[in-house]
Amino acid sequence: MKLKSDKDEVTLKDIAEVVGKSVAAVSRALNDYDDISPDTRAYIKQVAQEMGYKPNLLAQRLQKRATDSLGLILPVLSPRNADPFFSELLGGIANEATTQGFDLLVSTCTQGDEENQAYSRLIEGRRVDGIIVAHPRWHDTRISLLTEQQFPFIIVGAVLPELKHLCVTDDVTEGATQIVNHLIAQGHTKIALINTTLDLISSSNFLAGFQKAMLNAGLTINQNWLESCNTTPKDGYQTAQLLFSRVETPTAIVTADDVLALGVIAAAHDQGLEVGHDLAVTGYGDILLAEHSHPPLTTIERPTYTLGQHACRLLINRLRNQSLGPETVLFKPSLVIRQSSDLALWL
Amino acid sequence: MKLKSDKDEVTLKDIAEVVGKSVAAVSRALNDYDDISPDTRAYIKQVAQEMGYKPNLLAQRLQKRATDSLGLILPVLSPRNADPFFSELLGGIANEATTQGFDLLVSTCTQGDEENQAYSRLIEGRRVDGIIVAHPRWHDTRISLLTEQQFPFIIVGAVLPELKHLCVTDDVTEGATQIVNHLIAQGHTKIALINTTLDLISSSNFLAGFQKAMLNAGLTINQNWLESCNTTPKDGYQTAQLLFSRVETPTAIVTADDVLALGVIAAAHDQGLEVGHDLAVTGYGDILLAEHSHPPLTTIERPTYTLGQHACRLLINRLRNQSLGPETVLFKPSLVIRQSSDLALWL
DNA sequence: ATTATAAACTTAAAGGTTTGAGGAGTCAAA
DNA sequence: TTTGACTCCTCAAACCTTTAAGTTTATAAT
């Protein structure tokens, strides 16, 4: 026999009745106000503990007009699409959010109208206090919307040219340069690029890094060898086939994404090319499979999980302390050389 | 110039003042109660619209003592681990949740103590109305906890033996049987199995299907060829190496997961084996990369996205309508035959 | 003329917490 | 004896919405 049914939650009022004090006193005691005597405070805390009191978050949130939640909207190219970047980013964000006592609200949308609706839903419903925007684009309507509404947000995956926002990213330009320099050091001169879709700011960064390294080495960039596509194996496969159909073909293909690169490798195999020997292929991101593809993929290690953690932390800091100005965190990329681009490693 | 600053939200009270009615009348009008005259109702709705009224979700939720949120906790083996199954499942869940007006709250945890903490956090904080549990295990403490607390939940990825819970899954046993039958039809008799970790209920199901097909064909199961590991490429790689080191080696390796299978393929390559020719390898799940691995991977197509959708829908139905009893949804798997197991497809 | 009925509202409480303002009591200094 | 200060509380409003119960006014029935 229980005093309270399992379903009835203990409230401040219940505690107040037991200890014979006002609800306010109980609240203040539990929140460590110093205008409650130490004895009473200890007693109240003990009773609260014994009664199994858990504050009602909804009431607290209504009171302080904050949701203690962050929003993340995942872009969905197709139902079957599952970009490891987002899962890993999500991991970092979710972990940090929990640490900071925040909830993470995730929703999905396809690009286009649905995307703006998804953002409006979060903002207008005041479902979250801040939003994390991944992979910003040129003329990004999400960012316009958030800026217009003066809604707190942080960008992951590129630094906006205006420099007036919170941004966390790895240095994609630098990463691209490192990759290309590595290929040049391997003796390659005929280097192709398969970039991610050009609306992404990061794709421009990647291109910039690519160009910089090529020009620096005095190499010309063949416009027939510049392509871009979505980050799926299939797209990588098809775009590689396109390159193979050119009259002149490259000896190395630089890609801006690992998943895409795995598609390129598959295409090369089907073309009868031995990757790492006849053709060098590189990726970006160092997903788990990069190490265990055939051959293992040369790529740039991107601290995706850490990116998520930092983005989350920075955004929460911003929410807690209005005074902070724009801030940018840039992670240095590191090159991971594997057989797909290195003859010396090839047996 | 605006009447209200951007930051001040319009409340029922504001509308009430403008239309000269009580707050209750406004609330009732907006909620289509029929004890408000049609004229007034229309007028109030129009004013609300013009003033840009958006109901305060926190207040609504406090009022009706429900969060309109679902919880999903992602297991994290390592920061770098990103299981496509979960991303895809997440997609289906998130999509359906939004459709139904629910929010999806995601958090992460490593297995063990942290996991129970994560679930307690959701339950005790009443952060969500229901929880989706993926990949149930034997003696699953998550399920004990939820059952004890009488908290609504649904299980994805297996049907519990007790049959008293909501469950949505694909028929893993059937899938395993199909795979093995296919290999047997290809002439294989020396078939090894690399299962997922044995604490998962689905791994038992997979094993059951495997055994059934083997026994049915009169084949003996070699205990030296039964292994299990985590679903990462590295684990698959290492476990395959283990199999290759046996005195007698199989001609086919069945695995219970695509990602794991890709690791097996890499190991086979490094061993000098031509997958699809010298060795058949099969996976489970039909992730995007399965079609573009080298060689393309024979696998079972799992409707992961749909699994998520259905789980979400069923759980919400349960929350809305207490009367429903236990329910189980089982999806039939379908075999996708590719070069990794079929000589006829091999050139 | 009285009573019942219905329409169109309003009032007030409830949901649980936080917090500024204020009050009662004690003690000490002037 | 007043004044002030201090300690330890309580009151009541506020956050915003929903809803059970009640009120007013008009209309119809008896």
Q: Which residues pair with A281 in a beta bridge?
A: A253
Domain layout of chain A by residue ranges: 12-55, 69-170+305-330, 172-303+335-346
Residues with CB under 7 A from strand C: A 9, 11-13, 23-24, 27-28, 30-31, 35, 53, 55-56, 59-60, 62-64; B 20-25, 28, 35-37, 39-40, 59, 62-63, 65
- Strand ranges for chain A from DSSP E: 69-75, 103-109, 130-134, 153-156, 166-170, 191-196, 226-229, 252-255, 280-282, 299-301, 328-331, 334-336
The position carrying tokens 């724009």 is A326
DSSP H stretches of helix in B65-112: 84-99
**pLDDT of res. B346:** 55
**pLDDT of res. A315:** 96
Q: Which residues contact B177 (CB under 8 A, 6 or more apart)?
A: B209, B210, B212, B213
Determine the nucleotide nearest to A40 by Cα–C1' distance: D8
- The residue type of A238 is Q
pLDDT digits (tens, 9 = 90+) for A135-161: 999 999 999 999 999 999 999 999 998
Give the strand pairing for B328-331 and B166-170.
parallel
Judged against a pLDDT cut of 90, whether residue B157 lies above it is answered with yes
Rounded CA-CA distance A208/A203 in Å is 8
| Distance to chain A for B268, nearest Cα, Å | 10
Of A81 and B60, the one with more pLDDT? B60
**pLDDT of res. A110:** 86
Number of Cβ atoms within 10 Å of the Cβ of A110: 14
Determine the nucleotide nearest to A56 by Cα–C1' distance: C16
- The CATH architecture one would assign to domain B69-170+305-330 is 3-Layer(aba) Sandwich (3.40)
Judged against a pLDDT cut of 90, whether residue A79 lies above it is answered with no
pLDDT band for position B244 (50/70/90)?
very high
Rounded CA-CA distance B68/B128 in Å is 7
User: E strand or H helix at A113, and its extent?
Assistant: helix A113-124
**pLDDT of res. B323:** 64
**Contact status of A276 with chain B (Cβ, < 8 Å):** no
pLDDT digits (tens, 9 = 90+) for B4-16: 444 578 999 999 9
| Distance to chain A for B184, nearest Cα, Å | 27
Domains A69-170+305-330 and A172-303+335-346 share a fold: yes
Judged against a pLDDT cut of 70, whether residue B345 lies above it is answered with no
**pLDDT of res. B4:** 42
Average the pLDDT over each of A216-220, B2-6, B205-209, B242-246 and give the range with the smallest value: B2-6
What's the CATH fold of domain B172-303+335-346?
Answer: Rossmann fold (3.40.50)
**pLDDT of res. A5:** 45
**pLDDT of res. B3:** 41
Average pLDDT, stretch B167-181?
98
pLDDT band for position A1 (50/70/90)?
very low
* Listed residue (A240, A253, A273, A247) closest to A193, CA to CA: A253
Contact yes or no for A67 and B81 at CB 8 A = no
**Contact status of A105 with chain B (Cβ, < 8 Å):** yes
Strand D nucleotides, any atom under 7 Å to a protein CB: 7-12, 14-20, 22
Average the pLDDT over each of A253-262, B165-174, B334-343 and give the range with the smallest value: B334-343
**pLDDT of res. A75:** 87
Judged against a pLDDT cut of 90, whether residue B324 lies above it is answered with no
Q: How far is the CA of A64 from the C1' of C27 (A)?
A: 38
Average the pLDDT over each of B35-39, B76-80, B164-168 and give the range with the smallest value: B76-80
**pLDDT of res. A80:** 78
Average the pLDDT over each of A131-135, A204-208, B158-162 and give the range with the smallest value: B158-162
Mutate to test the interface with B, among A96, A289, A297 (most CBs of B within 10 A): A289
Rounded CA-CA distance A162/A174 in Å is 20
* Nearest amino-acid residue to D9, taking CA and C1': A25
pLDDT digits (tens, 9 = 90+) for B118-132: 999 999 999 999 999
Q: Is B124 exposed, middle or buried (0-12, 13-18, 19+ CB in 10 A)?
A: middle
Q: Which residues contact A142 (CB under 8 A, 6 or more apart)?
A: A115, A116, A119, A133, A136
Judged against a pLDDT cut of 90, whether residue B72 lies above it is answered with yes
DSSP H stretches of helix in A52-83: 57-64
Q: How far is the CA of B32 from the C1' of C3 (A)?
A: 32
Mutate to test the interface with A, among B2, B67, B87 (most CBs of A within 10 A): B87
Rounded CA-CA distance A90/B73 in Å is 12
Residue B182 CA to its chain's centroid (Å): 27
pLDDT digits (tens, 9 = 90+) for A279-324: 999 999 999 999 999 899 999 999 999 999 999 999 999 999 866 7
End-to-end CA distance of chain A: 74
Q: What does the mean pLDDT of chain A come to?
A: 93
Judged against a pLDDT cut of 80, whether residue A3 lies above it is answered with no
In degrees, rounded to 5, the angle at the alpha carbon of residue B344 between the alpha carbons of residues B338 and B347 is: 90
**pLDDT of res. B286:** 96
Q: Residue window 152-191, chain B: list those with CB within 8 Å of chain A.
A: none
Mutate to test the interface with A, among B58, B65, B275 (most CBs of A within 10 A): B58
Judged against a pLDDT cut of 90, whether residue A237 lies above it is answered with yes
Hey, what are B225's tokens? 């060829």
Q: List the single residue in B with minimal CA-CA distance to A86.
A: B87
**pLDDT of res. B63:** 95
DSSP state, residue B279: B
Residue B126 has its nearest CB partner, among A57, A265, A296, at: A57
Contact yes or no for B126 and A94 at CB 8 A = no
Residue B112 CA to its chain's centroid (Å): 20
Contact B136, B160 (CB under 8 A): yes
Average pLDDT, stretch B173-198?
97
> Starting from the edge strand earliest in sequence, which strands make up the sheet with A226-229, in order?
A226-229, A191-196, A252-255, A280-282
**Contact status of A107 with chain B (Cβ, < 8 Å):** yes
In this prediction, what percent of chain A has a pLDDT beyond 90?
Answer: 88
Judged against a pLDDT cut of 60, whether residue B281 lies above it is answered with yes
Rounded CA-CA distance A318/A324 in Å is 6
Q: Which residues pair with A106 in a beta bridge?
A: A72
pLDDT band for position B65 (50/70/90)?
very high
**pLDDT of res. A165:** 93
